[in-house]
């Protein structure tokens, strides 16, 4: 608890950023509990979208675990990332069911349309492209998700229209 406060106070600029306040709350909730690191990292990533260095430092101090261990855990688990991502993360399922039903062609089409490779982020900062493990919707293979939306029975031809939906929404939000 104390360590968490210390982390925030010495960076007064950030104290005003409500995301850091949320982080302090999360840390306070878990401090002292065994096995807290992974749940805290999950929630911190939810708040920040990724796990930048200063956030890692605050978590290490707040939970009283060595920074090297925080880093070790982040690099071990594929869902944690210390790199910023696009607004929407596109996850193409590369599980067996999806692979057998042509997920590779869907991924290829996405790479073409977005002009990026796997783990890349599109120039407009809108999309990050990833491949994911089976999401358990194998009956609808091939499957991808964009943020919280899941799309099944995909064909490469469908990709353009789906992407456009997000791009349109973005334009409208800007206007």
Partner 1 sequence: MAVYRLHVLVCAGAGCVSSNCKAVEAALQDELEKAGIAEEVKVVETGCIGTCDLGPLIVVYPEGVFYQRLTPDDAREIVNEHFVKGRIVRRLLYRPAEDAEPVALTADMDFFRRQYRIALRNTGVIDPEVIEEYIARDGYAALGKVLSTMSPEQVIDEIKRSGLRGRGGAGFPTGLKWEFAYKAPGDEKYVVCNADEGDPGAFMDRSILEGDPHSVIEAMSIAGYAIGAKQGFVYVRAEYPLAVERLTKALNQAREYGLLGENIFGTDFSFDIEIRVGAGAFVCGEETALLTSIEGKRGEPRPRPPFPAVKGVFGKPTLLNNVETYANICPIILNGAEWFAEIGTEKSRGTKVFAIAGDINNTGLVEVPMGTTLREVIFDIGGGIPKGKKFKAAQTGGPSGGCLTEEHLDISMDYESLTQVGSMMGSGGLIVMDENTCMVDIARFYLDYTKDESCGKCTPCRVGTTRMLEILTRLTEGKGEEGDIEKLETLARNIKASSLCGLGQSAPNPVLSTLQHFREEYEAHVRDKRCPAGQCLALIQFFIEPELCRGCGLCIKVCPENAISGNRREPHEIDVELCVKCGACQERCPFDAIIRR
Of 49-57, 76-84, 117-125, 163-171: span binding partner 1 (CB under 8 A): 76-84
Minimum distance of ligand FES from residue 142's CB (angstroms) = 7
Q: Does 116 bind ligand FES (CB under 6 A)?
A: no
Minimum distance of partner 1 from residue 122's CB (angstroms) = 22
**Which residues neighbour 4 within 8 Å (Cβ) at sequence distance 6 or greater?**
24, 27, 28, 31, 58, 61, 62
Binding partner at 72 among ligand FES, partner 1, none, C-beta below 5 to 8 Å by kind: partner 1
Residue 116, both tokens:
């990026």
- Write phi, then psi, for 12 (nearest 5 degrees): -60, -30
Q: Does 27 bind partner 1 (CB under 8 A)?
A: no
Cα-Cα-Cα-Cα dihedral of 160, 166, 172, 174, to 10°? -120
Q: Give Cα 123 distance to the centre of its chain.
A: 18
Cα-Cα-Cα-Cα dihedral of 79, 58, 12, 2, to 10°? 140
Binding partner at 38 among ligand FES, partner 1, none, C-beta below 5 to 8 Å by kind: partner 1
Q: Which of 31, 97, 126, 146 binds partner 1 (CB under 8 A)?
A: 97
State how beta strands 88-93 and 144-146 pair. antiparallel
Q: Which of 61, 150, 162, 170 binds partner 1 (CB under 8 A)?
A: 150
- Write phi, then psi, for 35 (nearest 5 degrees): 70, 30
Q: Does 105 bind ligand FES (CB under 6 A)?
A: no
Minimum distance of partner 1 from residue 16's CB (angstroms) = 30
Q: Which residues bind partner 1 (CB under 8 A)?
A: 34-39, 41-42, 69, 72-73, 76-80, 94-101, 105, 132-141, 143, 148, 150-153
């Amino acid at each position: 608890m104390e360590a968490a406060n210390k982390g925030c106070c010495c960076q007064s600029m950030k104290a005003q950023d409500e995301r850091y306040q949320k982080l302090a709350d999360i840390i306070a909730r878990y401090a002292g509990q065994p096995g807290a690191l992974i749940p805290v990292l999950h929630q911190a990533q939810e708040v920040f979208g990724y796990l930048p260095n200063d956030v890692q430092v605050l978590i290490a101090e707040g939970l009283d675990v060595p920074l090297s261990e925080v880093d070790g855990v982040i690099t071990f688990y594929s869902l944690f990332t210390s790199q910023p991502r696009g607004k929407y993360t596109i996850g193409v399922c590369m599980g067996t069911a999806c692979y057998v039903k042509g997920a590779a062609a869907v991924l290829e089409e996405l790479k073409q349309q977005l002009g990026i490779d796997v783990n890349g982020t599109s120039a407009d900062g809108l999309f990050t492209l990833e491949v994911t493990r089976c999401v358990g919707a194998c009956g609808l293979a091939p499957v991808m998700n964009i943020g919280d939306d899941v799309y099944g029975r995909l064909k490469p031809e469908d990709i353009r229209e789906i992407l456009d939906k997000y791009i349109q929404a973005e334009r409208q939000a800007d206007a």
